[in-house]
Amino acid sequence: PRPALVDHRFDVVDSKEAEVKLPIPNPTLLPDRILASSLPVIIIRHPVFAFPSYERAASVYATTVFDMEFSVMTSYKWSRIMYDFYRSYYKKTDPQGKMKDWPIVVDGDRLVEDTRGQMKKFCDIAGLDESEIQYSWEAAGLVTDDKPLISFLATIKESTGVIKGPKPCSMVPDLELQVKKWTEEWDEKVAQRMKEAVESAMDDYTYLLARCI
């Protein structure tokens, strides 16, 4: 007979979360016991940088900024919902305040600009040894004809460390200037749709940014 497969990473039957009853509604499709046994880390990036980057990569699927996928992927609404859920959960289940710094929210722009500083903060909260973090590596390369994989992973696979941009990521971007660049890269309609997405996401982004490490 075929042996039973047990995924110990998700198997929490013998843990205290096995029969967990969440004090607040579960906003996801995940089982309560998995949600309760997870340590959430949320990564954000300024919409002005994140959204056009996503569109460039996703264009390999022939999707556009006018498709539903773009609206779903260019929103921090879901991240904010998860942040608020876990904060409410910990307030009700952790009276000693041991989880006061969770969920951890990481600003991707700060992570690129001050990689070591951000990772030290992260490790201090997560209880990890920062000296074990690897900040450089050998380029792995990407040997494949799969265009989606190339589009999303080529830069990572060819990197030898964190890739910093020509300008500090902490600089507040000029949205109107970016709209002009998007118009040149795509067209006016795409640029305006991108602008709308950025403006729509700013409230949730700012909310999460204020809670970053």
pLDDT in tens, 25-44: 899 988 888 888 899 999 99
For 183-187, what is the mean pLDDT?
96
d(CA 178, CA 158): 27
The predicted structure's pLDDT at residue 17: 56
The predicted structure's pLDDT at residue 115: 95
* Position 120 in a domain: yes
Residue 128's domain comprises 46-87+100-209
Residue 66 clears pLDDT 90, i.e. is over it: yes
pTM of the predicted model as reported, rounded to 2 decimal places:
0.84
* Position 14 in a domain: no
* Position 188 in a domain: yes
- 63 confidence band (pLDDT: 50, 70, 90): confident
The predicted structure's pLDDT at residue 22: 85
Q: What is the dihedral of CA 32, 34, 39, 41, to 10 degrees?
A: -90
d(CA 104, CA 43): 8
* Position 180 in a domain: yes
* Position 200 in a domain: yes
* Domains: count for the chain: 1
* Position 170 in a domain: yes
- 60 confidence band (pLDDT: 50, 70, 90): confident
89, exposed or middle or buried, with CB in 10 Å at 0-12, 13-18, 19+? Answer: buried
* Position 27 in a domain: no
Average pLDDT, the chain: 88
Residue 204 clears pLDDT 70, i.e. is over it: yes
The token duo for 119 is 């990772």
Share of the chain above pLDDT 90, in %: 61
Q: φ and ψ at 114, to 5 degrees?
A: -135, 65
The token duo for 126 is 């997560």
* Position 169 in a domain: yes
